[in-house]
Structure 1
Amino acid sequence: MSLQQTMVVPLPAFQQLLGVTADDVSWLVTATLLTSAVATPIVAKLADMFGKRLMMLVCIMLMTAGSIVAALGGDFATMVAGRSLQGFSSALIPVGISIMRDELPREKVSSAIALMSATLGIGGALGLPLGGILYQQAGWAAVFWLSAAVGVAILAAVLAVVSESDVMTRGRFDFLGAVMLSVILTALLLAISKGGTWGWGSERTILLFVLTVVGLALWIPYSLRVSQPLVDLRTSARRPVLLTNIASVLVGFALFANMLLSTQQLQLPVASGHGFGLDPVVAGLAMIPSGLAMVVFSPVSGAMINRYGGKATLIAGSAIMAAGYIGRVFVSDSVAAIIVGSTVVSVGSAVAYAAMPSLIMANVPITETASANGLNALLRAIGTSSSSAAVAAVLAGVTVTVGGVEYPALAAFQNVFWLAALGSLAACAVVWFVPRFQHEPAPEGVPADTAALAVTQAGNSAESVVHGKVLHSGGQPIAHAVVTVMKTSGEPVDWSRANNDGEFSLALPGPDEYLVVANADGWMPTSKVVRFTGTERDARIRLTQRLTVTGWVLRGGTALPGALIALSSHTGEYIASTRTNDAGSYELRLPPVGRYVVTVVEPDTQFTQSRKLVLTAESTVVNFDLVGASRETLL
């Protein structure tokens, strides 16, 4: 996938070859970016629903088909179409990470994720010189034929080696949500990637940003309302997931600046005063050490995750990136200094990129690992796109003229290094607030904040998915109930949030006794120790007792029927009302935790009495006796 992103970058000859403008030829990169952004969350969700191996095969076939189309087409439109299909390869990353979680023993998962993340660096670094060498030696079509050949080889290997995971959910795919999100992402990324060319104040750019905002304003409430959304915003809003995703945007921003600035600085003419005059192929070759460093440090990243946890590892990686960029601000006067600085940043990015999936998977249901990692990958892509736009804007805005030719000034490179360093430090600050996962006992050698991930990886080969429904005593489903499964020794296994129809899915590692806890807003939780034999596929969980505000209204010790009970928030909003029955009792559903005012109105005299309440997630009894009430309590 990373090869697809960079192989055409050092080929400006495409502009002359195809007879198009510099703006037009940039679509060879933009088309892949747009397809990647749109395809990643959709393919990842389909992988969770219908099979990870299946969607991996689909992505490889589309990528291979795109390579063949681009190689055979020979004209600009066909090449853009082929590059668009190549963008489907980006979905291989979150799907592949999810497959590794399903297939590998727990002690191998962190290192495997780290190695896969490292291939992003080596692939991106190799793509720069490889594209140029192929073009010079065998023509432009060889660039795409190589991608096609690799695609065919990987397709055969996946068919032969990778088995389909049993961890799949069932349900309906959110087609409308997918269309809405695709429009939003296309508008946003077009505005970011083309804003510098079209003008940030141009009508097209502004309209695209407006479309993005309007689309989000429609898509977010829709996704919260629909039964099975493409992106589960409730899970994504959980503090560990939300903060990790924010950090991913910042790390993606910082990482991409490294490759862009390094190659440009190496290719600038010596006459500029701070360039080295290397051709694109040689400049690309100079970036290979930084890509190799990511692979070399991948086992270190895995070991750090296992020993110190995903949170500490992500902070460490971001800090190393910041240190590398700050060093590049002051030392960039030789090719060696640029290579060393770029390598330090790459080491930090290898450590950080390895930690992100671990933090995500430790805090989402097992049956949603692909879609959750897909969203994380998408946000990293938004970060890299923003980085590209920021780099272009700064380099174009801070220039120096030498011999009548305008070049980016050294200060422009330093300014971007500072921006990338600030982005990395901001990622450290964000991740600092990711809560640590706590439970006892933790698996030996596994830190608290990754213990949940480690436990769920035990016995992956025997995992079975159990589907079920959460119902109330009347047999109706309870939307958004949360079902948690633990071993009887206390280790977490999995959790799931029910959809609007009360349906949930859980992945259990094998036959055993499990503690099942179900909870929903407004209901008393229920729990039970259940023996799972490995043959169960459907479960029914019933929540039978609502959480309520109840009480009696008396007058002189006698029940008062027909009295009005009104509940309002402490800020004045109406919440609910009811009347007492013949026995003088009343019942209201428990509202969310907070401060409230409950008021009673006597039916005959209209006398009133109010009382302040601080409600918790427990049923509450509030009794009234109107003896002594007077009209002085009336407004």
Structure 2
Amino acid sequence: MDAPQPSARAGGVIATLAFAGTAAALMQTLVTPLIAELPRLLHTSASNAAWVITVTLLVGAVCVPVSGRLGDMFGKRRIILACCVPLLVGSVVCALSSSVIPMIVGRGLQGMGMGMVPLGIALLRDTVPAERLSSSIALVSASMGIGGGLGLPIAAAVAQYASWRVLFWGAAVLAVAIAVLVHFLIPDVPTGSAKGQRFDGLGSIGLAIGLVCLLLAVSKGSDWGWGSGTTLGLLAAAVVVLVAWGLWELRTRDPLIDLRTTARPRVLLTNIASVFVGFGMYASMLVMPQLLQLPSATGYGLGQSLLASGLWMAPGGLMMMFVSPLGGKLTDAKGPKFTLISGVLVIAVGYGLSLPLMGSAWGLMLAAIVANSGVGLAYGAMPALIMSAVPLSETAAANGFNSLMRSLGTSIGSAVIGVVLSQMTVSMGGFKIASESGFRTALLVGCGVSLVAALIAAAIPAVRAATAGGGKPGRGGGDGVASAPGEVPAPGAAALDA
């Protein structure tokens, strides 16, 4: 593998990959301002229109780990460029759509672009000097949260002052810009030891079926009924298929995801913590905008428009961008485990602040800033922990699986918070809306989940690097770099766990 690029060129690499991650994450919140209007715009029912959002989640969840494996096999830069194609085509299809079917197809194609985020994180390990590795990983990893946080006000402004189709034409322009920047600024790093391995097609199909069953049940359970035959059948199918998939992955020679590596305590506990961090992040993104938009006549709503509520939440998204490089420096000084614990504790503090401050827009903005600062720290630490414990040949696939765990956490968080708010309601004007106690309960759940994430993160074992050729083990009190037998840690890998 080539040595990491000089610092001057590394700046362009970091900026490009952070931009790509932010743009990919924007696709998730792109249609949020249109939710109420989609049935009218697409001449369909509300339940059919909901698939415009659900399909992006499903396709993204399936494609992220597959893209990671393909990146390890054929080159991460090449697969990032490949991800730009469905992102561009899907955006154009959506912009030209006047009915629900092509819109769903286009949104599914956009979801394929989510594979750029873990590929970008893994590519940093190959291209960035050691002294900049931790901060760059933190920034690119946090781009998922940054894009989600900034997407709502941007999309709301465009939808309010221009045609909704402009949103998708803008997404198409972003896809072209990403492809151009990646082509010219990202070096073509030779593929690692995964080159020449067989792609696990059967494993990809099994994972896709299992994830679709699981995420459909989680995301649509509140609509279909948690005790309905459809929901329970999908959950049962998910269990059966994913167990069979796991047995296949353990037996096949070149698995899609090496479950033996994933089962290492350092990787396993980081992935479990990622589920709780994803839950903690998304809970606030669901609760706070609703509090801002509910009519002030409720006594606890703040009566803000969609655009205004997005602008109140925007500083929280920007804070992730500012905090991420600081998280990288904290990782260099104390190790990613310390950064992860610190991040989830800060998220919990943000929820704690939101309870007494939920009566004002300024208070919710402050709470969002604090909580998102914690997200910036935590999101940057998780890939660093993963990459310190997996071989070079599995870097992108392992990051893809970690991104999947975060997405699973956001899906579970959406379902749980949705149940809380739907069960704790008050009647107003003939309609049932979530009550103040329902919102407080949801915020308490987010705080509790964040504290659980901190406990799981505290249990992540510290690992010292294997001494090779008289080298020294990882620094930082044992929070060192783990390498697979026969593997040399990646350039700059020691910086991940310093």
TM-score, normalised on structure 2? 0.90
Is 1:173 the counterpart of 2:199? The answer is yes
The equivalent residue for 2:21 is none
**3-state SS of the aligned residue for 1:484?**
coil
- Alignment correspondent of 2:175: 151
- 1:43 — aligned with what? 67
Q: Which of structures 1 and 2 has the bigger CA Rg?
A: 1
| Superposition deviation, residue 99 in structure 1 | 0.7
Matched to 1:240, the amino acid is: R
Report what 2:150 is aligned to: 126
Q: Which has the higher helix share?
A: 2
Worse-matched range after superposition: 35-44 or 127-136: 127-136
Q: 1:247 to 1:307 in 2, by over 3 A?
A: same
Q: Determine which of 264, 270, 273 is the counterpart of 2:290.
A: 264
**Contact map agreement 2:125 2:491 (CA 8 A) in 1:** no
Which residue, out of 73, 86, 98, partners 2:122? 98
Which stretch of structure 1 is more off in the superposition, 110-119 or 432-441? Answer: 432-441
Is contact 1:125-1:287 (8 Å) kept?
Answer: yes
Q: Which moved more, 1:118-127 or 1:186-195?
A: 118-127
Contact 1:307 1:445 in 2 (8 A): no
Assess if the C-alpha contact under 8 Å between 2:150 and 2:318 holds in 1: no
The alpha-carbon deviation at position 166 of structure 1 amounts to 1.6
Paired letter, 1:294: M
The partner residue of 2:304 within 278, 281, 295 is: 278
1:6 aligns with 2:64: no
Distance in 2 between residues matched to 1:193 and 1:74, nearest whole Å = 25
- The structure where strand makes up a greater share of residues is 1
Q: Deviations over 1:189-223 (max 9, x none)?
A: 00000000011111111110010011122111111
1:68 paired with 2:66, answer no
Aligned partner of 2:20 in structure 1 is none
1:22 equivalenced with 2:85 (yes/no): no
**Cα offset for 1:14?**
1.6
Is the CA contact 2:41–2:98 (under 8 Å) kept in the aligned structure 1? no
Pick aligned residue for 1:404 from 430, 434, 444: 430
| Superposition RMSD in Å | 1.8
Match 1:56 to one of 43, 57, 80: 80
Give, in whole Å, the separation in 2 of the partners of 1:360 and 1:242: 9
2:133 counterpart residue number = 109
Residue 186 of structure 2 corresponds to residue 184 of structure 1: no
Match of 1:79 in 2: 103
Residue in structure 2 matched with residue 367 of structure 1 by the alignment: 393
User: How far apart, CA to CA, are the structure 2 residues paired with 1:380 and 1:297?
Assistant: 19
Which stretch shifts more, 128-137 or 372-381? 128-137
Q: 1:53 to 1:432 in 2, by over 3 A?
A: same
Give the TM-score taking structure 1 as reference length: 0.71
Show the 5 A alignment for 1:404-423. 404-423=430-449
Corresponding position: 1:240 with 2:266: yes
CA deviation after TM superposition for structure 1 residue 447, in Å = 2.2
| Secondary structure at 2:486 match in 1 | strand
Q: Which blocks of at least 5 consecutive residues in structure 1 are unaligned?
A: 457-481, 486-492, 495-506, 510-635
Check conservation: 1:266, 1:277, Cα contact below 8 A: yes
* Residues 526-541 of structure 1 aligned to structure 2 (within 5 Å): none
Q: Distance in 2 between matches of 1:335 and 1:354?
A: 28
Q: Does the 8 A contact of 1:360 with 1:373 survive in 2?
A: yes
Structure 1 residues 418 and 176 mapped into 2: Cα distance closer, same or farther (>3 Å)? Answer: same
1:204 aligns to what SS in structure 2?
A: helix
Q: In structure 1, what residue type is equivalent to 2:436? A: L
Matched letter for residue 259 of structure 2 = L
Match of 2:418 among 374, 382, 392: 392
Contact 2:474 2:480 in 1 (8 A): no
Work out whether 1:354 is the aligned partner of 2:380: yes
8 Å contact kept, 1:271–1:402: no
* Cα displacement (A) at 1:403: 3.8
Identity of aligned residues (%): 41
TM-superposed CA distance for 1:134, in Å, is 1.6
CA contact (8 A) 2:30 2:152 kept: yes
Superposition deviation, residue 448 in structure 1: 4.7
The 3-state SS of whatever aligns with 1:400 is strand
Tell me, which stretches of 5 or more residues in structure 2 are unaligned?
1-23, 493-498
**Candidates 289, 307, 329, aligned match of 2:315:** 289
Q: Where does residue 484 of structure 1 map in the other structure? A: 486
Is 1:362–1:450's contact at 8 Å kept on the other side of the alignment?
Answer: no
Q: 1:442 to 1:416 in 2, by over 3 A?
A: farther
1:324 counterpart = 2:350? yes
1:447 aligns with 476
SS at 1:436 equivalent: coil
Deviation at 1:443, TM superposition (A): 6.9
Worse-matched range after superposition: 29-38 or 127-136: 127-136
- Measured in 1, the distance between the counterparts of 2:371 and 2:286 equals 13
Give 1:378 shift. Answer: 0.3
Aligned partner of 2:236 in structure 1 is 210
Secondary structure in 2 matching 1:401? strand
Between the two proteins, the alignment pairs up a number of residues equal to: 463
Matched with 1:489 is: none
Deviation at 1:125, TM superposition (A): 2.0
| Partner SS, residue 191 of structure 2 | coil
Q: How many angstroms apart in 2 are the aligned matches of 1:443 and 1:121?
A: 36
Partner residue, 1:342: 368
2:119 maps to amino acid? V
Q: Deviations over 1:523-542 (max 9, x none)?
A: xxxxxxxxxxxxxxxxxxxx
Partner of 1:164: 188
Cα separation, 2, equivalents of 1:316 and 1:231: 29
- SS of residue matched to 1:276: coil
Q: Deviations over 1:324-352 (max 9, x none)?
A: 11222232111111101111110001000
Identify the match of residue 142 of structure 1 among 141, 166, 189. 166
Task: Give, as a single letter, the amino acid of the residue that structure 2 aligns with 1:313.
Answer: T
